[in-house]
């Protein structure tokens, strides 16, 4: 791996400046666009950074070329493909000659401006120009009629008797003298999945008024898939069929027509006991399926009648786990973007869905560039894309070996073990105090926050008799992120075992630095628990619990001071509000 891929700042100021320019020009710098770009903690829901400082949503080759200022050839060809596709869209959708010429002229000006520096990622350029087109044309769903017609053709084919006869045939089942019914139970869903995947490569089914002949389609649908990644997926599914567990798959949807096959495949997976989260685009992205398509295409609306639609861009971990534990077998979300796979700009809901899934399946050929770079994900990802009619390319990208997953059951078990221990302490006449403090609210001050938290709790323990003080910082396990921590602690906090809930005050902070024989630095001056969104969430829980247990004391800043912090942190314990990406 080259030094370009694992870029470290501080060795070449000119290159560092160019790198900063790359991130700011592409609107991918969290420091510059904190309301649009995922925080490092949220990014870690999807990408296991393994100590690297920078993530980029493109191939290693393209990133290295841009940083070394030799990307002219790569970028120019990609830019021209974007322009050709956009020009075709304008001429196809805009009938008025004057408006068509106006749009093309404006887009050409913007295109020339954005491509001059040769630093703009093709996906970001495409998104910006397309945004200008949709805003000025005032057409919220360009290509809607064409996409809906493709979906209808695909659905009509799957409902046809000739397809049904071929789909339910015994051809391909391996039945010998030693074959058992259990063997057949394993073979049947895998055979059905393979047939649907192979047929999803035949675009003529939904592009043409009449699908190809059934003899040809039967030959394609019964063709074996020769791929180590497909074999891996089959083994993964066999474990599910054997009853080992009931997992969740995050399914990244593809294009119109193909989506009908996707939904047929998803129905088979759900019958196997698998929960599925279907992720689509936020808005128009050519033939890719968007959240708006699902709501306005009558056919898709009908096919997803029993699914749970989650429209919020910033769903909490508790809410998502609640949906996953509900009777809904299919959840539908938007990834929050209108471009190819881009974890830096994905919605909070998508990031959390990625993190809570057991497996991710991508049906997006354009996302291969981002998937195939050297970065590794926190979850196994299988990319399934069409090469040609009757040809599939399936690639497994295993999760990073260092990625740790704390299941809901494991987090609950940790909380319940702590509750049991605290109850024994209460039985011995001890008072239980929970201390809520700033942990990550001040950028770059995480270690300092932990240090002053620990020194102050130690001080309290030395001065208070028969009081057990719960310091959340002492119960952290490697691999836990703040979502896991907040989920675990809420279980503990709502158990009713807390006698005194103390929130960090300005005086606490000043006393902590005094104990360290240090002056309070400017970034900590005037800070208390009200500065932390995590603490704000905990104050809400504390007030709710005090209604049930009036004898519980709350010590610290008043609720009015907390009201300025209303957004629950995303993967961290402080304020985070994500808007639409730029």
Domains observed in the chain: 13-137 (no CATH), 144-397 (3.40.50.10880), 408-562 (no CATH)
Going by pLDDT thresholds of 50, 70 and 90, the confidence category of residue 437 is very high
Mean pLDDT of 471-494: 84
- Specify the 3-state DSSP secondary structure of 364: coil
Q: Quote the tokens at residue 576.
A: 């985070």
By C-alpha distance, which of 436, 472, 471, 467 is closest to 555? 436
Average pLDDT, whole number, for the chain?
90
Long-range contact set of residues 68-71: C-beta below 8 Å, sequence gap at least 24? 68/4, 69/18, 69/118, 71/118
Instruction: Report whether 440 contacts 572 (CB < 8 A).
Output: yes
Going by pLDDT thresholds of 50, 70 and 90, the confidence category of residue 171 is confident
- Reported as a single tens digit per residue, the pLDDT across 176-209 is 777 777 777 788 889 999 999 999 999 999 999 8
- Reported as a single tens digit per residue, the pLDDT across 405-414 is 888 888 999 9
Mean pLDDT of 518-547: 91
Q: Are strands 248-252 and 275-280 parallel, antiparallel or unpaired?
A: parallel
Mean pLDDT of 359-382: 93
106 vs 33, more confident: 106
Q: Which residues pair with 255 in a beta bridge?
A: 288
What pLDDT shows up at residue 443?
Answer: 66
What pLDDT shows up at residue 6?
Answer: 64
By C-alpha distance, which of 357, 487, 470 is closest to 414? 487
Question: Over 80: is that where the pLDDT of 573 sits?
Answer: no
What pLDDT shows up at residue 177?
Answer: 72
- Rounded to the nearest 5°, which phi and psi values hold at 91? -65, -30
Going by pLDDT thresholds of 50, 70 and 90, the confidence category of residue 5 is low
Number of other residues whose CB lies within 10 A of the CB of residue 420: 11
CA distance 43 to 37: 9
554-575: burial string, b at 16+ Cβ within 10 Å, e else: bebbeeebbeebeebbbbbbbb
CA distance 357 to 368: 20
Mean pLDDT of 447-475: 92
By C-alpha distance, which of 1, 32, 35 is closest to 19? 32
Instruction: Report whether 158 contacts 260 (CB < 8 A).
Output: yes
Q: Quote the tokens at residue 430.
A: 């001890």
What pLDDT shows up at residue 572?
Answer: 46
Question: Over 60: is that where the pLDDT of 4 sits?
Answer: no
The residue behind tokens 């959840």 is 331
Mean pLDDT of 246-265: 96
Question: Over 90: is that where the pLDDT of 569 sits?
Answer: no
Number of helices (H) and strands (E) in the chain: give both, helices first: 24, 13
CA distance 574 to 238: 42
Going by pLDDT thresholds of 50, 70 and 90, the confidence category of residue 440 is low
What pLDDT shows up at residue 135?
Answer: 92
Within 4-109, strands assigned E span 47-48
- Reported as a single tens digit per residue, the pLDDT across 296-348 is 999 999 999 999 999 999 998 889 999 999 999 999 999 999 999 999 999 99
Question: Over 70: is that where the pLDDT of 575 sits?
Answer: no
Mean pLDDT of 361-383: 93
What's the predicted TM-score (pTM) here? 0.85
What pLDDT shows up at residue 3?
Answer: 44
Number of other residues whose CB lies within 10 A of the CB of residue 182: 10
Mean pLDDT of 146-174: 92
Q: Quote the tokens at residue 548.
A: 């049930």
- Reported as a single tens digit per residue, the pLDDT across 19-49 is 999 999 999 998 888 889 998 888 989 999 8
Q: Quote the tokens at residue 135.
A: 């805003």
Instruction: Report whether 356 contacts 248 (CB < 8 A).
Output: yes
The residue behind tokens 């049991």 is 420
What pLDDT shows up at residue 283?
Answer: 94
CA distance 560 to 311: 30
Instruction: Report whether 514 contacts 565 (CB < 8 A).
Output: no
Mean pLDDT of 229-236: 95
């Amino acid at each position: 791996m080259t030094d370009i891929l694992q870029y470290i700042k501080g060795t070449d100021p000119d290159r560092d400046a160019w790198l900063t320019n790359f991130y700011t020009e592409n609107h991918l710098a969290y420091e510059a666009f904190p309301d649009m770009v995922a925080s490092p903690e949220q990014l870690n829901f999807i990408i296991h950074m393994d100590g690297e400082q920078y993530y980029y949503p493109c191939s290693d080759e393209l990133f290295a070329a841009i940083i070394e200022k030799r990307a002219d050839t790569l970028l120019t060809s990609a830019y021209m493909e974007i322009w050709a596709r956009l020009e075709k869209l304008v001429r196809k959708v805009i009938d008025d000659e004057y408006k068509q010429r106006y749009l093309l002229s404006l887009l050409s000006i913007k295109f020339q401006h954005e491509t001059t520096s040769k630093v703009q990622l093709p996906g970001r350029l495409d998104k910006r120009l397309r945004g200008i087109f949709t805003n000025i044309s005032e057409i919220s769903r360009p290509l809607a009629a064409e996409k809906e017609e493709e979906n209808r053709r695909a659905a009509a084919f799957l409902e046809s008797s000739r397809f049904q006869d071929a789909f339910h045939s015994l051809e391909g089942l391996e039945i010998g003298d030693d074959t058992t019914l259990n063997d057949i139970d394993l073979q049947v869903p895998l055979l059905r999945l393979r047939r649907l995947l192979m047929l999803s490569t035949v675009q003529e089914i939904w592009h043409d008024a009449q699908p190809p002949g059934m003899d040809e389609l039967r030959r394609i649908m019964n063709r074996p898939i020769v791929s180590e990644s497909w074999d891996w997926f089959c083994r993964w599914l066999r474990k599910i069929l054997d009853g080992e567990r009931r997992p969740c798959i995050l399914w990244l949807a593809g294009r119109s027509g193909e989506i009908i096959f996707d939904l047929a495949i998803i129905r088979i997976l759900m019958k196997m006991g698998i929960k599925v989260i279907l992720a689509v685009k936020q808005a128009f992205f050519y033939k890719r399926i968007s959240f708006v398509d699902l709501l306005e295409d009558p056919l898709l609306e009908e096919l997803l009648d029993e699914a749970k639609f989650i429209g919020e861009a910033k769903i909490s971990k508790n809410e998502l786990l609640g949906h996953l534990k509900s009777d809904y077998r299919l959840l539908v979300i938007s990834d929050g973007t209108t471009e190819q796979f881009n974890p830096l700009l994905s919605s909070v809901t998508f990031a959390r869905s990625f993190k809570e899934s057991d497996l991710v399946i991508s049906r997006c050929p354009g996302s291969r560039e981002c998937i195939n770079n050297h970065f590794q994900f926190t979850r196994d990802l299988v990319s399934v894309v069409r090469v040609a009619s009757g040809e599939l390319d399936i690639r497994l990208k295993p999760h990073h070996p260092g990625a740790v997953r704390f299941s809901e059951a494991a987090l609950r078990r940790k909380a319940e073990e702590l509750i049991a221990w605290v109850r024994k302490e209460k039985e011995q006449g001890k008072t239980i105090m929970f201390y809520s403090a700033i942990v990550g609210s001040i950028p770059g001050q995480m270690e300092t926050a932990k240090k002053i938290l620990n020194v102050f709790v130690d001080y309290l323990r030395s001065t208070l008799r028969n009081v057990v003080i719960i310091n959340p910082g002492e119960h952290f396990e490697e691999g836990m992120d703040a979502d896991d921590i907040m989920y675990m602690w809420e279980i503990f906090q709502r158990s009713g075992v807390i006698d005194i809930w103390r929130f960090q005050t300005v005086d606490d902070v000043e006393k902590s630095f005094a104990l360290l024989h240090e002056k309070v630095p400017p970034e900590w001056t005037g800070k208390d628990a009200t500065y932390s969104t995590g603490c704000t969430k905990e104050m809400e829980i504390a007030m709710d619990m005090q209604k049930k247990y009036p004898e519980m004391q709350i010590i610290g800043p008043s609720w009015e001071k907390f009201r300025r912090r209303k957004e629950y942190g995303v993967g961290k314990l402080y304020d985070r509000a994500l808007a639409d990406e730029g």
